[in-house]
Amino acid sequence: MAESTRESDQATAVLVLGMHRSGTSALSRALNLRGLDIASRLVPASENNRTGFWESEELVALQDELLGQFGQRWYDFLPLPETWWQTAPAEAFRQRLLDYLERDFGQSRLFLIKDPRLCRLLPLWRAVLADFGARVRVVLMLRDPWEVAASLAARKGMSLPTAHGLQLWLRYSLEAERHSRGLPRCLVTYDELLADWPATLKRIARQVDLSWPCDDLESQRMIDEFLSVRHRHQRVGAERPGDGCSASIQQAHDALTGLASDPDAVDHRQVLDELLARTDAAMAAIAPLLAGYEQRYQESDRCYRHEQEVRRELARQLTVSRDEIRQMEFHHQQTVDRLKEQQLQQRRALEERITDLRQSLNQSRRDVEAGKGERKKLELELQAMVGSQSWKVTAPLRSCGDWLLGLRRGRFSSLARLGLNLKELECYRHLLDSGIFDRTHYLDSYPDVREAGLNPLVHFIRKGTAEGYLPNPLFETEWYLETYPDVAESGINPLLHYFIHGVTEGRNPSPYFDTLDYLERHPELRKSGVNPLAHCLAHEDVAAYLLVKKSAASESVEKPGPQPAARASGMQRPRPLFHDFSSYERNSLFILKLEAPFSEEAKRVIGHMSGVRRHLARHYADMPETALVSIIMPTYQRSACIGTAVRSALTQTYRNFELIVIDDGGEDDTAAVLAAFADLRIRYFRLERNSGAAAARNYGLKQARGEYVTYLDSDNTMEPDFLRILLGELLVENNAFDMAYCAQNIMVGDAGSGTARLEAVRYASFCRPVIENRNYIDLGALLHRRTLIERFGGFNERMQRLIDWEFLLRLSEQQYPKPVPCILSSYYHDVANNQITKLKSWRRALAHLDGYLAERGVADQLPGHAIPGLDSMYSLRFSPTPRRTRKVSIIIPSFECLDYLRLCIESVNRFTNVPFELIIVDNASARSVRDFLADLDRRDGVTVIQNEENYGFTYAVNQGIARADPDGDVILLNNDAVVTEGWAGALQQVFDDLPEVGLVIPRQVLPPHTPTIEIHNPISNVRREMDVNLSVHHDNILNTRPHDNSNGFFELSFAPFFCVYIPRHTLEAIGPLDFENAPHYRSDRLYCEAVRQIAGRKIIYTPHAKVYHFLQRATSTLREADAGSFDGMFVRNDWLEVKKRIANAD
């Protein structure tokens, strides 16, 4: 790597001058990749420059405003007033430009400024940069003026005539050359840059006396990829027009290219001076004429624009009025017809009812008379029987018979036939309605009972108890009998004992449920007498409840300690995943949806979302309805239900929309149903044949006229505020999002019948790694800018299922959607018989989706490794790069696992895209590992530290930190990790947005079927890879929106140090890890606490850096090879034992 820019207290500013379309953007990006700092907020790329302009949005606006002070715009070629930079308007802008420099480059030592307007405003900039205390270097970019003029003429939306473009080139080029005299400068041609950029940049460095900070192979590769002949879109042949103006243009171009070859040529400067003087004189002569034309043009343009706006507004109002009249007439007629029909039906029903009642009354009178006579007869017979002697003698037998008759006829008749004794019958009677025997759980857990057709409670009473079967997820039969031996001695059924006695005695049904603790948190249960275990099973999310308790217990396996006794006591308190919306939002990635019947906590969340909806509806009530929204609705054979969906669209409070219905070759009455609405906003298209939902939606997108797009299936509905709220959220000031999504009701049944029931509410924060594992955002909850379709394409027509999942993955590849916590959409199950989820196979669709995700396979670029799971690994399709790379030391603590270590190191060398050094600290591995590392130590950029004893993770890491470059950052990386393309650059890119971050955390991805995936995220699909750095087990998500979050950053409280980026300012504030209190595990938790509590900095997770983890390969090896070392280091985590080992080694 080349030496950095010369050490100096004085900053250096490189000004890139040149006419618009001259190649200044290409040169600026190349210099940026060589290490020059660039503006923080750049003009976005566009159709006119797809690779970016690389100039500051703020500076462009400032300089346009400054030109306006002198009555000019960027496209004017009249001269500015003489010594304009000494005038009052210029002096006012001098401080504003200085303030801009302080904001963007206050901490920079070497930076570049690029904007073609600099050519005209350079005299003022020389004074401003002197005030800023920066040295000035100038690079003047030259390009054939006829190519520049052709490029300006071809620009979309702002084209200029060729003659105008040539005069503009002449003005910019002459003034740039004149004003930059006396400064260290270099003139460069566009042809020269594209033909041999390394030689060009070397000449620039030599002529302006600079050294590039980044001169490594990686920056060369990136410049090679960026610069190509594709940058040149206009070429002009050798022939030029022959008028006098063209002769002056050619003369200026020849003189400038001559200066590029010979910077000291006086004759070329004289030619340029004469040309500038002639041009100024000519412009002075025609200035009044041009000013008059300009004034009349501006007035005409303003009048035209105003007239067009008035015409559009009047047309819109007329259309709205006509639509409202049609709607009112249509609805009025519908109402009249409906009322007439209802009145007629009610009259007929009343007449029929009166007739039936009269007949019933007459029959009842006859029955009463007959009953009176029968009653008198029976009373006489009863008196005679009761008074007899036989009735008195048989009284005891009648009592026993009544019991047996009730047994045979009542609810226990089936038990009697099974032969239960009285003790078992009593147990059954108590447990049947107790709420603590879970019939569904029992049959699902023990399929042999289901297959045999047995009554599950009877089986549990007679056999299940003896076999240790669990009657519900929270009652462990054997544990209860072992923990409370008096129950086993009594012979009573353990579940019955807990129900009758255990609660009042404070006993626990399992190590995962604390009876007294639950009663303390629900004091109302003591008064009501409700069994706490029954209450928990009925009202809590039992799966999540158990996950927290079992994952806490699993820590004792990974980090052994004195936990078994605590577990046996049953006193561990379960941690609920959420208790209000704030905690739900943090943990929503582990829940995804709230299922009915809703718990009290779930009702709080839903209630908050309802309040947010009311607030946003009021907030956006007066929002201008200027943006057109296209609602895309594909349908096929759904005339029976489409009316409800259409009606929900037509009732939107935001009225500027079009509903595009694409009938995918159906042969039902869909067209007639739509025609009945008589609404001009409905646009109906029918395809000749059934092509599938993807093709139908793509057809709709081609027909769409809206700037924004959303989707509504013909069996779903949207709430009236759907468009207003989601569109309002995308139109807010400083919005960084291009799409938004809302919460959604999951319904069962037909929306139009009134019998549909609410099954769940689906909503979670957006997280790209989770969405790659399983989709939780329905297409009907999404609204986005149409430009996303132009960038990423429409729907994949090769897929018949999972279409919306694949579509959402592509749209969110670079920028994430904005979650809006309002229930604005409803998804209906079982409305239509032809739902894709019922008819289409998901396997082929999943193969398409995985093919998209895994396009950049890791194994293809790391051949020769036979490690299971490597074939399934892949790099991200998009990884952002930092504006300026930082030096970093990658520290790998190592113990055994040679195959994994080789793979780890090779992946680092292959995929790291920032300048780095590699430091490997080995903790007394076997000879094969040590030999491999000794050979590696001979290579440049690699340092190996060989320990004779195993000092543990923390001490080894600190050894690496001590040897790291003191001016660079540090990355800690496990030896069983595999990094992917762009990982390090993505970690550093976080500092572009959040420069004061304390730690940066990447994805920690476990391969499919890794056992611990569900411990970290219980809703994940274990058959797919999963990121576990966002973890319910660690309970580590603090904030899902630490920034604008279109970049997907999360703020964490903790992350395991399998891979972590530690910036130098954190190391200086806190120092290395605490090995004395945590020789192996726990040191990462202590360091995270210190970062947040002592240094006052944030821990930021980025989804754009991806690292795979094979999960504790070295730990498993140590457990098998050296039980004593494993016990001291992993079980007791005791530094004293490690310290003794160090002393003995010395």
d(CA 552, CA 563): 10
What number of other Cβ atoms are within 10 A of residue 201's Cβ? 22
The separation between CA 442 and the C-alpha centre of its own chain, rounded to angstroms, equals 39
Give the three-state DSSP class for 1063.
Answer: coil
Q: Which two tokens stand for residue 769?
A: 């790694």
Bridge partner list, 945: 921
Q: What is the mean pLDDT of each run of 10 residues along the chain (1146 residues)?
A: 46 93 89 90 74 86 89 84 89 90 91 93 93 94 89 70 86 91 93 90 92 85 74 52 68 89 86 87 74 66 76 83 81 80 80 79 75 71 63 53 49 54 82 89 87 88 87 90 84 90 90 86 81 88 71 37 31 64 94 92 96 96 94 93 94 96 93 94 94 94 96 95 97 88 91 80 96 95 96 91 92 93 90 48 76 90 88 92 95 92 95 96 92 93 92 90 96 95 96 95 93 88 92 92 81 94 96 83 90 96 95 58 52 56 55
| Cβ pair 226, 51 in contact under 8 A | yes
Give the three-state DSSP class for 481.
Answer: helix
Exposed / middle / buried, residue 1122 (Cβ in 10 Å: 0-12, 13-18, 19+): middle
Helix (H) or strand (E) holding 110: strand 110-114
Per-chain mean pLDDT for the chain: 84
d(CA 1041, CA 445): 41
**pLDDT given at position 1119:** 54
Contacts of 930 (CB under 8 A, 6+ apart): 922, 946
pTM: 0.54
Length of the chain: 1146
What backbone phi and psi angles, to 5 degrees, belong to 896?
Answer: 55, -150
Taken in order 1017, 1020, 1024, 1026, is the CA torsion positive or negative?
negative
| Cβ pair 531, 434 in contact under 8 A | yes
| Cβ pair 16, 114 in contact under 8 A | yes
**pLDDT given at position 571:** 33
| Strand positions, DSSP E, 924-1033 | 942-947, 969-973, 977-979, 999-1006, 1026-1027
Write the pLDDT tens digit of every residue in 698-729.
999 999 999 999 999 999 999 999 999 999 99
d(CA 201, CA 16): 13
What backbone phi and psi angles, to 5 degrees, belong to 1063?
Answer: -70, 160
Helix 542-558 to helix 532-539 angle (10° resolution) is: 100
Token look-up 């090779």 returns: 906
What backbone phi and psi angles, to 5 degrees, belong to 1077?
Answer: -90, -10
For the chain, how many helices (H) and strands (E)? 47, 25
Residue whose C-alpha is closest to residue 634's, from 694, 720, 710, 723:
694
**pLDDT given at position 409:** 47
Distance (Å) of CA 784 to CA 24, 117, 341: 34, 35, 43
Residue type, 1057: F
Give the three-state DSSP class for 780.
Answer: helix
Helix (H) or strand (E) holding 16: strand 11-17
| Cβ pair 690, 664 in contact under 8 A | yes
What number of other Cβ atoms are within 10 A of residue 333's Cβ? 11
d(CA 1011, CA 1110): 11
Residue type, 515: T
Residue whose C-alpha is closest to residue 836's, from 733, 928, 714, 941:
714
Residue type, 1116: S
| Cβ pair 939, 932 in contact under 8 A | no
| Cβ pair 936, 944 in contact under 8 A | yes
Q: What is the DSSP letter of 463?
A: I
Q: Which two tokens stand for residue 960?
A: 């690496």
